[in-house]
Amino acid sequence: MWTFDPFVDDFTKLEERISNYLSNTKIEFCPLKTPQIDFDFQLSLNRLIKSYKSGHFKSSYELGLILRTVAWEKLNSWHWADVPSVWRQAYYFVSLILVISRLLLGHDCLSVLVDCDHALLMGCSFGDDVISGIALILHDMVGGGNEVCLPPAGEEGSLLRFEYLTELPRVENIGVEDFIYYFNNQLPCVITGSCGHWPAFSDRRWNVQYFMSLAQHRTVPVEIGKNYMTDHNWHQKLMFFKDFVNDYIINQSPVVGYLAQHNLLGQIPVLNEDVITPEYCYVSDCDDRK
C-alpha cells in the first residue's frame, strides 16, 4: 500500500508513490452498483476504471471531468440532508481517479489540492480515505510562507469577543463521578482545566500560525452574514483558509464570516492527533453511579 509522507518535496518521489499505489491497489466499484445510479452513468464509470487501470490517464482525466460534473449536478438536485449517499460516494470515487490522473499528467499541485478538498467536502469515501492523504502531501509540496500579517503568537484571543448572556458556574477538572451528577441533574456548567494535557494546548498549540502551517492552501466552507434566517445577504462560499484568516480574522471585515460546520478533522486528519477524547464523552443518560 502507498504510505503517506508529509515531508515529500520532490514531485518525482510523489509520482513513484502513486505508480506504486496504482500497481498494488485495487479500487473496487461494487459499492456503487445500485439502482440509484443510472445505467449510463455506471457504464461510463466502468470505462473510467478501465482507462485508469490500463494507465491511460489522459482518457481517465477527460472522462473523469465529465462524470464529476454529472455527480456534482446530482449532489445539487436535493436538499443536502436528502442527497443519496451513493451519489456522494460516486463524486468521491470519480474525484479520486481524477486527482491521481491529474498528478500523473503533471498538473499544477495547487489546483489538484483544490480538487481534493472539494471531494472531501462534498463526497463520501467507502473505504480508506486516500484523498486526505494525497491532500496532506500536496499542501506540503505547495509550501509557501504565511501570506498574511499574523498577530504575535498567543494574542489571537484578543481578536475574539464574547458576550455572556448568563454566567455559568465554573468547576475545575472534575472527575467522572462529579460529571455524572451535573449530567443527570441537567446542571449546565463550564469545566475548566481538563484539556491542558492535549497537544492542541501544548506541543502543537492551536493558534492561527499553526493552522496556517497545516491548512493555508486548503479549501474550506465559509458562511457570510450574521444569521441565515434573518440576514438576507447571508450566503456560503468556498475559499482558501489563508483568505478566510486574512479577510475575517486579521482584517476583521465589517461583514461577519465564520467557518461553516463541517468535518474539519476528517478533511485534515492530522488534527485528530492534537485532541484526546475526554472520559466525560463516554457517559450516557442511563449511567446512575451517583
Indicate if 14 and 114 belong to the same structural domain: yes
In this model, does residue 56 exceed pLDDT 50? yes
Indicate if 136 and 172 belong to the same structural domain: no
pLDDT digits 0-9 by tens, 191-237? 998 888 899 988 778 888 889 989 999 999 999 988 777 778 888 99
Q: Return the bridge partners of 190, or none.
A: 170
Residue where a domain stops, chosen among 97, 113, 142: 142
The verdict on residue 256 lying in a domain is: yes
Q: Which three cell numbers stand for residue 278?
A: 475526554
**Dihedral of alpha carbons 228, 234, 237, 243, sign:** negative
Q: What pTM did the predictor assign?
A: 0.77
**Containing structural domain, residue 26:** 10-142
Give the best-scoring range by mean pLDDT among 117-121, 186-190, 198-202, 286-290.
Answer: 117-121
pLDDT value at position 28? 52
Indicate if 33 and 135 belong to the same structural domain: yes
CATH at 25: 1.25.40
Contact 67, 94 (CB under 8 A): yes
Interhelix angle 11-24/85-104, nearest 10 degrees:
130
Residue found by looking up cell 504565511 in the block: 146
State how far the Cα of 135 lies from the Cα of 114, in Å rounded to an integer: 9
The verdict on residue 147 lying in a domain is: no
The verdict on residue 151 lying in a domain is: no
The verdict on residue 54 lying in a domain is: yes
pLDDT value at position 202? 80
In this model, does residue 289 exceed pLDDT 70? no
The verdict on residue 150 lying in a domain is: no
Residue where a domain stops, chosen among 142, 176, 204: 142
Indicate if 111 and 197 belong to the same structural domain: no
The verdict on residue 1 lying in a domain is: no
Lowest average pLDDT, out of 72-86, 142-156, 225-239, 248-262, goes to: 142-156
Query: Phi, psi (5° rounding) for residue 202?
Result: -135, -95
The verdict on residue 261 lying in a domain is: yes
Kindly report the average pLDDT of the chain as a whole number: 81
Residue found by looking up cell 491532500 in the block: 135
CATH at 201: 2.60.120.650
pLDDT value at position 127? 67
State how far the Cα of 267 lies from the Cα of 118, in Å rounded to an integer: 10
Q: pLDDT-based confidence at 151, cuts 50/70/90?
A: low
Indicate if 177 and 244 belong to the same structural domain: yes
Indicate if 115 and 216 belong to the same structural domain: no
pLDDT value at position 6? 34
Indicate if 165 and 74 belong to the same structural domain: no
In this model, does residue 190 exceed pLDDT 50? yes
In this model, does residue 5 exceed pLDDT 50? no
Indicate if 83 and 134 belong to the same structural domain: yes
Total domain count for the chain? 2
The verdict on residue 5 lying in a domain is: no
Indicate if 101 and 164 belong to the same structural domain: no
Question: Which residue, 170, 215, 216, 211, is CA-closest to 194?
Answer: 170
Q: Which three cell numbers stand for residue 38?
A: 443510472
pLDDT value at position 39? 82
Lowest average pLDDT, out of 151-160, 218-227, 276-285, goes to: 151-160
Indicate if 248 and 160 belong to the same structural domain: yes
Residue where a domain stops, chosen among 120, 142, 164: 142
Indicate if 115 and 183 belong to the same structural domain: no
Contact 163, 127 (CB under 8 A): no
Report the pLDDT averaged over residues 17-33.
53
Contact 89, 31 (CB under 8 A): yes
pLDDT value at position 165? 66
Indicate if 17 and 80 belong to the same structural domain: yes
pLDDT digits 0-9 by tens, 94-138? 999 999 899 889 899 899 999 999 999 999 887 667 888 888 888
In this model, does residue 1 exceed pLDDT 50? no
pLDDT value at position 2? 34
